[in-house]
């Protein structure tokens, strides 16, 4: 039977480098939209995600003002953290240092900077999300 992660384990788990799935309310009667996404998080802080401002994802996040972020460990022992949060800041154009921090987290210094350099900065947005509710499970026992 799974048990919830402790608060400190939950914070550390979310801070580890993992791909998240972000879900947001959709429009036109469609089910919630879900997108794999890179993110930035420091224990006790807020979550930051970056995307192109012209994408449907950005529009839906802006309109809803709330999101769910699911982060999981896909190998045993299985674990996951779910965060429901409120968008507390929207930065357009996205600050280059934030975009680079997110990309470097996943790709390393050189490849992260090169990745960010391949996009038009004017079309980038960073959403800052305040975690409001948490859910987690740890299947290690």
Q: Is residue 82 part of a domain?
A: yes
Q: Is residue 2 part of a domain?
A: no
Closest CA to 38 of 23, 49, 46, 54: 49
Q: Is residue 13 part of a domain?
A: yes
Average pLDDT over residues 38-49: 96
In contact, 43 and 11? CB cutoff 8 Å = yes
Contacts of 32 (CB under 8 A, 6+ apart): 23, 24, 25, 26, 68
- 58-112 pLDDT per residue, tens: 999 999 999 999 999 989 999 999 999 999 999 999 999 999 999 999 999 999 9
Q: Is residue 37 part of a domain?
A: yes
Chain centroid to CA 83: how far?
9
- Residue 129: predicted pLDDT: 98
Q: Is residue 124 part of a domain?
A: yes
Dmax over CA atoms of the chain, in Å, equals 48
pLDDT cut 70: percent of the chain above it:
100
Domain range enclosing 34: 7-138
Q: Is residue 61 part of a domain?
A: yes
- Residue 29: predicted pLDDT: 86
- Residue 121: predicted pLDDT: 80
What is the model's pTM?
0.93
What is the domain-level CATH number for residue 42?
A: 2.30.110.10
- Residue 113: predicted pLDDT: 95
Q: Is residue 29 part of a domain?
A: yes
Split into its structural domains, the chain has a count of 1
- Residue 64: predicted pLDDT: 96
């Amino acid at each position: 039977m799974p048990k919830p992660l402790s608060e400190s384990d939950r914070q550390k788990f979310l801070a580890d480098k993992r791909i998240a799935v972000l879900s947001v309310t959709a429009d036109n009667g469609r089910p919630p939209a879900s997108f794999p996404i890179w993110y930035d998080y420091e224990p006790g802080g807020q979550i930051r995600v970056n995307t192109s401002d012209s994408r449907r994802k950005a529009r839906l996040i802006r309109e809803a003002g709330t999101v769910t972020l699911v982060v999981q460990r896909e190998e045993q022992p299985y674990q996951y953290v779910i965060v429901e949060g409120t968008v507390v800041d929207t930065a357009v154009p996205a600050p280059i240092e934030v975009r680079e921090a997110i990309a470097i987290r996943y790709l390393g210094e050189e490849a992260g900077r090169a990745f960010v350099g391949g996009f038009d900065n004017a079309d980038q947005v960073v959403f800052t999300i305040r975690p409001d509710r948490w859910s987690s499970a740890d299947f290690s026992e």
